[in-house]
Structure 1
Amino acid sequence: MRQRIAILGLLACYLAIGGRLVQFGAQPPEQAVAWPSPPSKARPDILDRNGVVLAMDLPSASIYAEPRKIVDLDEAVEGLTGVFPDLDPKALRRRLDSKAAFAWVRRTTTLAERDAVWALGIPGVGIRDELRRFYPNGRAAAHVLGAVNVDNIGIAGMEKWIDGQGLQALRLTGLETTRDGLEPVRLSLDLRAQHALADELGAAVEKFQAKAGAGLVMDIATGEVVALVSLPDFDPNVPADALKPDHINRVAVGTYEMGSTFKAMTTAMALDSGRFQIGSVIDASAPLRFGRFAIRDYRGQNRPLNVPESFIHSSNIAMGKMAMAIGSDHQRAFLRSLGQLDRLATELPESAQPLYPSRWAELNTATISFGHGIAVTPLQASMGIAAVVNDGRVLRPTFVKDAPLAERILAEGAVTPRTSEALRYLMRLNAKVGSAAKADIDGYHIGGKTGTSEKVVNGRYDSGTVLTAFMGIAPAHAPRYLFLTVLDEPKPLKETFGFRTSGWNAVPTTGRVMSRILPMLEGTAKWTAPADPFPAMAAARAWGSNLFRPRLAMTGERP
């Protein structure tokens, strides 16, 4: 009897198991894991102009869980927090203690972490092989490179631009891509110059206790950006840092009143109009008055000034009078021809609209002549200065090496070659005897224009809070490279005798940048000034001995 009962019990168990198997077989197959996002796809390497890797893909893995399949919750939480100590055990337990079909545990882990999870053998915990973007140089060129999200999709900078050049469309086709199957993207940046610029700019921000700093090196002939730094910066390996408000790209996105650097464009406009010559004299002996508002010179000469004197002494009065003599309409058209009144579009998705008055009155004409009342990006201002020293060719800047030149020419002949030579002459003169003298370095024949602008605080200009800038060119007689340094709210020091103007901070900083970068750039070792670097300026040199003598003539009159 006992044997019969045992046999019947076993048969009942087998029948129950068989019936359950038939039931499972009759049901539709269980759906695969409902992934919240597709697996990350390969991206092309990003190289600098010399072939150095700036960004690349590395093998990675993501750890996920299927909570309803976890057998031992405590074991799962203990094992996973052992591999990932930074995970919050309570939060992880809440995430896994559910009947959900899917939950991420950790995205983009290292291969060692993947292997450690695999060794745990926790039921209900799985691994998905993916790719992780890696930036081997850390913070270098972060604002140009941009960043990708956890799914390896570009969200900023050149990474986002690359997606728009066909990579995203390739993903949507479902075709499998590999790193080896994608052609690397070569940028115009030189990593050596990038490190040197970041090093010197960082030292200047620290020394002068500035709120922020920005810098740029651009090839004037091609518009290629050789280096770009904006401080504070971020590590693109930690893309969340890029979202902090003070980590914006100040060169391409920040808009600032660039101060007296704009006087280079105003002087070019005045000379190109034909109403002023290099020897024309403007009376700067008294302030320009508009009702209760007066325009004065910083450390003014209080006398008539010729054009070179107006440029070197950075006279607001002289610039305002020249601009008003030419007229608001001409000034607005001239600045637009240099790309200063429209949003500048480059490969970088991030850009900013320039700010200027909708009603361009005579007072606006005067203040805009010396860089107040108009705010542009430093990259935009650099493009304008590069154009007036490059025979009037306005080139849209690029961050891609050997980008086609013809499609980036925004204007030809914005100024005449003679006007362009005059600006090169004035910028060289300013580096020899003017406010840019602290940037002059032996062997490279540089020129430049300084700028110090008061910032608006609580709706009013504050003389104690300034933005300083310097635009330098090298070599001055045939410019190849433009250097820009911007310091936001630098502090006066004992060694600067209490001054906080550009000539005491941005200028010497640019001089150090030039001395480090120029020797490493192509072709710069052979730069020597010709015997007659500015042949069209012979008339100016003829009365050069009287260059700084007071003039008695009034506006527009020649000596």
Structure 2
Amino acid sequence: MRGEVMPSLIRPGGDLVEATNAQLGIRLGDLEGHAVDITRRRIWLAVWVFTLIFTLLGARLAHLTVGGDGPMTVKRNTQPQVAQERPYIVDRNGVLLATQISAYNLGADARKVEDVEEMVAALAAILPGLNRQKATRFLSSNRRYVELMKGLTPQQYKAVLTLGNPALKMEKADRRFYPHGSLASHMLGFVGSDMQGLAGLEFFLDRSLEPLSQESLRDGRLPVTLDIRVQHSVRAELAKSIKKFSATGGSAIVMDVENGNILSMVSLPDFDPNLKPWNAGHQRLFNKATLGTYELGSVFKIFTASMVLETGAAAPEDTFQTSLPISIGRHEITDPHGEKRPLTVGEIVVHSSNIGSAQLALSVTPEVHWGFLERLGLIDKPELEIPELTNPQLPRQWGEVERATSSYGYGISISPLQALVAGAAMVNGGVMYRPRLINDDLPLGVRVISEETSTHMRQIMRAVVTHGTAKNARNSKFMILGKTGTARMAGPGGYDSSRLMTSFLGAFPAHSPRYAFIVILHEPQKIDGVYGTGAGWNVVPLSTDIVERIAPLLGVMPHPAYKPADNIILHKVREVL
């Protein structure tokens, strides 16, 4: 109404709001501007905080991407880098032995399959390894996903894609591939479906107590000491002789005596690591060269002779009576093909006299005898970069009988690897090197006999070839030296003379040995045209064939004009007699 005074509007909060604002120095009319100022400050604060956060994150990302040392580091390189979960394995010449390839697993949504028989037929036409019966059963199950086949190659993957069937499903699953198949299977080993090593070097890569050095891993590759050319030659000759003599198996190792590098290691029968090796069976997976322990027979005589020469228990010209058997307790030791005359230390080895070898062993104390075997690494588990290793089988007591029989290789079982490592030290000047498959550091060697003793052992082992049980190797132009071993195999009823293990531990060239080897045949049989079943008739010719093939590959030149002097030890005996 005109003339009436309208009451002033009071904001919510009434007098309390006015009182509060009065204390803050804010007039009632300025409240809206004050609220806007506060909101604006909060927005700017949020902007600055987020800007700071993203700046820090960007700086860290740039650091990791360009020059950092974290797990996301990418080094600039003119060559594209291919990520490898496992390193390539290559031989000493760079030949590829194991790699990682792209593969695919094939599955299907069984509910979407309209014609099971038609789909199985189409898949079988492009996938030779498809299990048709299994695929038919799975595709008829009406399940959301069934797995039909693993390990499709990129070519098979493309072929499946051309079918254009939406029911099929494929996922990438890298797998390990071994280009040479079974050629080096026991050394390389294999991996499981999870790409974790289960045997051989593959196992070592995952479970090594010490990480491999940068010197060992070069550009994602692991170079090993194996020479695939030598491996192929050794395996081919060993397989040929196993078939020729109807043997149940065999093994062979070749090693560089100057550093312990393993150039070849074969155990037959073997397996293909590309074809589900865990289904190959125990016989094929078992590495006879490193995991098997055997009584190697007369091969042990070189260790016994070396012991007495090194300790001074006998001189090279000393003779021992071998005309008659000797008795130790209730046991009688004889020579099946003895010389029936006094023999020097060297002749005991050359003519493989059990009687003489027993006398050599008993000429030293039990402590000296055991200590010498321990020095040669024949008492403990050997070392190598694969898990397939085992402890030797030793006598329960160390009396005269055990010492006598072990002197010629019975009652003590060792692996071929152990025999080879100790044998190499007998001929290389007296230094025993740790065997190895990976060149990760300088060769680790320890002197076990003197150079003088080693010289005597080279003469003796060459005389085994020229005058003794390994005459079938004397015509080799690469001058082989060594020692044979023919041992009866133990069975439930004792030793079985019809089941033999023949072996030859040797080296070449004789005048300056560079490579040592051991070759073994399990239960070789007599064949027409061959006089006997001992080592001299089967494993010695086999070893000669191996040396003839691998020596040129290793740069060893033939010496047809080289004629070693008649063994001085044998000559002295002839004068005495």
The interval holding the TM-score normalised by the smaller chain is: 0.7 to 0.9
In structure 2, do the counterparts of structure 1 residues 544 and 70 end up closer, same or farther at CA, with 3 Å as the change threshold? closer
- How many angstroms does 1:104 deviate by? 2.2
Contact 1:309–1:548 (CA<8 Å) still a contact in 2? no
The residue that corresponds to 1:275 in the other structure is: 313
C-alpha separation in 2, matches of 1:181 and 1:255? 35
Contact 1:107–1:150 (CA<8 Å) still a contact in 2? no
- How many angstroms does 1:318 deviate by? 0.8
Contact 1:218–1:482 (CA<8 Å) still a contact in 2? yes
With 466-475 and 148-157 compared, the bigger mean Cα shift is at 148-157
User: What residue identity is the alignment partner of 2:492?
Assistant: N
In structure 2, do the counterparts of structure 1 residues 275 and 86 end up closer, same or farther at CA, with 3 Å as the change threshold? closer
C-alpha separation in 1, matches of 2:103 and 2:502? 45
Choose the corresponding residue for 1:222, options 259, 266, 281: 259
The residue that corresponds to 1:521 in the other structure is: 554
Contact 1:67–1:101 (CA<8 Å) still a contact in 2? yes
- How many angstroms does 1:420 deviate by? 1.1
C-alpha separation in 2, matches of 1:182 and 1:68? 47
In structure 2, do the counterparts of structure 1 residues 456 and 544 end up closer, same or farther at CA, with 3 Å as the change threshold? closer
Summarize the alignment of residues 194-209 of structure 1 with structure 2, pairs less than 5 Å apart. 194-209=231-246
Summarize the alignment of residues 177-188 of structure 1 with structure 2, pairs less than 5 Å apart. 183-188=220-225
Q: Which runs of 5+ in 2 are unaligned?
A: 1-82
Choose the corresponding residue for 1:324, options 362, 371, 393: 362
Q: Does 1:481 align with 2:515?
A: yes
- How many angstroms does 1:530 deviate by? 8.4
In structure 2, do the counterparts of structure 1 residues 316 and 431 end up closer, same or farther at CA, with 3 Å as the change threshold? same
- How many angstroms does 1:242 deviate by? 6.7
The residue that corresponds to 1:212 in the other structure is: 249
The residue that corresponds to 2:484 in the other structure is: 450
User: What residue identity is the alignment partner of 2:573?
Assistant: L
The residue that corresponds to 2:573 in the other structure is: 547
In structure 2, do the counterparts of structure 1 residues 85 and 231 end up closer, same or farther at CA, with 3 Å as the change threshold? closer
Summarize the alignment of residues 494-533 of structure 1 with structure 2, pairs less than 5 Å apart. 494-497=528-531, 499-522=532-555, 524-525=556-557
Q: Does 1:44 align with 2:87?
A: yes
Choose the corresponding residue for 2:134, options 86, 91, 95: 91
- How many angstroms does 1:76 deviate by? 5.3
C-alpha separation in 1, matches of 2:333 and 2:151? 59
C-alpha separation in 1, matches of 2:528 and 2:122? 59
The residue that corresponds to 1:36 in the other structure is: none
Task: Report SS of the residue matched to 1:210.
Answer: coil
- How many angstroms does 1:166 deviate by? 9.6
- How many angstroms does 1:342 deviate by? 1.1
- How many angstroms does 1:255 deviate by? 1.0
Summarize the alignment of residues 375-524 of structure 1 with structure 2, pairs less than 5 Å apart. 375-400=413-438, 402-406=439-443, 408-409=444-445, 412-497=446-531, 499-522=532-555, 524=556
Deviations 1:479-519 (A, max 9, x none): 2101221011111223222x111111111111111111112
User: What residue identity is the alignment partner of 1:510?
Assistant: S
- How many angstroms does 1:67 deviate by? 4.7
In structure 2, do the counterparts of structure 1 residues 186 and 527 end up closer, same or farther at CA, with 3 Å as the change threshold? farther
- How many angstroms does 1:250 deviate by? 1.0
C-alpha separation in 1, matches of 2:333 and 2:379? 24
Task: Report SS of the residue matched to 2:173.
Answer: strand
User: What residue identity is the alignment partner of 2:186?
Assistant: H
- How many angstroms does 1:419 deviate by? 1.0
Report how many residues are paired.
490
- How many angstroms does 1:85 deviate by? 5.5
- How many angstroms does 1:278 deviate by? 0.3
Task: Report SS of the residue matched to 1:260.
Answer: helix
C-alpha separation in 2, matches of 1:302 and 1:354? 34
Task: Report SS of the residue matched to 1:250.
Answer: coil
Contact 2:328–2:400 (CA<8 Å) still a contact in 1? no
Q: Does 1:288 align with 2:322?
A: no
Contact 2:478–2:558 (CA<8 Å) still a contact in 1? no
- How many angstroms does 1:526 deviate by? 7.6
- How many angstroms does 1:69 deviate by? 6.5
- How many angstroms does 1:139 deviate by? 2.3
The residue that corresponds to 1:354 in the other structure is: 392
User: What residue identity is the alignment partner of 1:372?
Assistant: Y
C-alpha separation in 1, matches of 2:86 and 2:293? 32
Using structure 1 for the length normalisation, give the TM-score.
0.81
What is the aligned-residue RMSD (CA, Å)? 2.9
In structure 2, do the counterparts of structure 1 residues 337 and 109 end up closer, same or farther at CA, with 3 Å as the change threshold? same
The residue that corresponds to 1:152 in the other structure is: 195
In structure 2, do the counterparts of structure 1 residues 548 and 495 end up closer, same or farther at CA, with 3 Å as the change threshold? farther
C-alpha separation in 2, matches of 1:505 and 1:86? 41
Choose the corresponding residue for 1:58, options 101, 105, 117: 101
- How many angstroms does 1:94 deviate by? 4.1
- How many angstroms does 1:259 deviate by? 0.9
Q: Does 1:310 align with 2:345?
A: no
With 230-239 and 159-168 compared, the bigger mean Cα shift is at 159-168
Deviations 1:264-287 (A, max 9, x none): 111101111111010111111221
Summarize the alignment of residues 116-195 of structure 1 with structure 2, pairs less than 5 Å apart. 116-164=159-207, 183-195=220-232
User: What residue identity is the alignment partner of 1:275?
Assistant: A
- Structure number, greater radius of gyration: 2
**Identity rate of aligned residues, in percent?**
35
C-alpha separation in 1, matches of 2:210 and 2:340? 61
Using structure 2 for the length normalisation, give the TM-score.
0.78
Task: Report SS of the residue matched to 1:513.
Answer: helix
In structure 2, do the counterparts of structure 1 residues 549 and 469 end up closer, same or farther at CA, with 3 Å as the change threshold? farther
- How many angstroms does 1:151 deviate by? 3.6
The residue that corresponds to 1:338 in the other structure is: 376
| Higher-RCO chain (CA-CA 8 Å, sequence separation at least 6) | 1
Task: Report SS of the residue matched to 2:447.
Answer: coil
In structure 2, do the counterparts of structure 1 residues 41 and 104 end up closer, same or farther at CA, with 3 Å as the change threshold? farther
